[in-house]
Amino acid sequence: MQSMIYVNGTAIPYPARGLEIMVATLVDSARNANGVVVGQKIGRDQYKLNALVWPWLSAEQWSTILQCFSGFYATVRFPDPVTNGWKTLKMYPGDRTAEPYWVGEDGLPTHYRNCKVNIIDVGE
């Protein structure tokens, strides 16, 4: 399956509109005696895939996404808006939430709605 986000080599389904690819520049700054900000960039820019949402996933699809983060850290490949190319970084998931929607006869969910996760750059 073609995708725009790969986690540990696994293509995950396209998220709903609203995904934010955040680029943060870390700065070591303060103000001098004249009140002027003085500082400099520290490290490299860091990324966050914010507001990843899937309105509807099968239990199998959601489980696959969650299992990609079973080791907490993951290698994530995604479009880099800075270079308009692919970026691959070590990242970790934020809270992962979903609402069970349909439940099978065995009592286990068969589908989820409003599945959400943020994926955050570790900075390495």
Is the pLDDT reported for residue 124 higher than 70? yes
Mention every residue, 6+ apart, whose C-beta is less than 8 A from residue 27: 39, 40, 41, 42
The 8-class DSSP code of residue 4 comes to S
Of 120, 121, 15, 92, the residue nearest 61 (C-alpha):
15
CA distances from 32 to 41, 42, 79 (A): 17, 18, 38
Quote the longest CA-to-CA distance of the chain. 70
Is the pLDDT reported for residue 1 higher than 80? no
Mention every residue, 6+ apart, whose C-beta is less than 8 A from residue 99: 112, 113, 114
Give the pLDDT confidence of 40-80 residue by residue, as tens digits: 889 999 999 999 999 999 999 999 999 999 999 999 999 99
pLDDT recorded at residue 39: 84
Which pair of structure tokens corresponds to residue 76?
């994530």
Count the residues in the chain. Answer: 124
pLDDT recorded at residue 37: 84
* pTM greater than 0.85: yes
Report the C-alpha gap between 49 and 85 in whole angstroms: 15
Is the pLDDT reported for residue 106 higher than 70? yes
pLDDT recorded at residue 103: 95
